């Protein structure tokens, strides 16, 4: 079990690459929401989240 949050990159049953953010209790708190055609694409998605999340606002709708 991870002791710190971690991004997992995996290939789904359709052959697409996805990511998920998993915390210490193994709960998934975020996922890619879409499949990527390459593992590198999924990793770029992770980097986008890491770069944008620190400045993202919370908006109620």
pLDDT at 57: 97
The pTM assigned to this predicted structure is 0.87
Match domain 4-53 to its CATH number in 3.40.50.300, 3.40.1410.10, 3.40.50.720, 3.30.160.160: 3.30.160.160
Residue with tokens 């109620």: 60
Tell me the pLDDT of the chain (61 aa) as tens digits: 568 999 999 999 999 999 999 999 999 999 999 999 999 999 999 999 999 999 999 999 9
pLDDT at 19: 99
Domain ranges of the chain: 4-53
User: Cα–Cα distances in Å, from 38 out to 26, 47, 61?
Assistant: 25, 15, 33
pLDDT at 2: 62
């Amino acid at each position: 079990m991870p002791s710190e949050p971690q991004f997992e990159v995996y290939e789904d049953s359709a052959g697409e690459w996805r990511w998920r953010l998993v915390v210490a209790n193994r709960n998934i708190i975020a996922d890619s929401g879409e499949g990527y055609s390459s593992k590198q694409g999924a990793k770029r998605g992770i980097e986008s989240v890491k770069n944008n999340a620190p400045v993202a606002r919370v908006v109620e709708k």
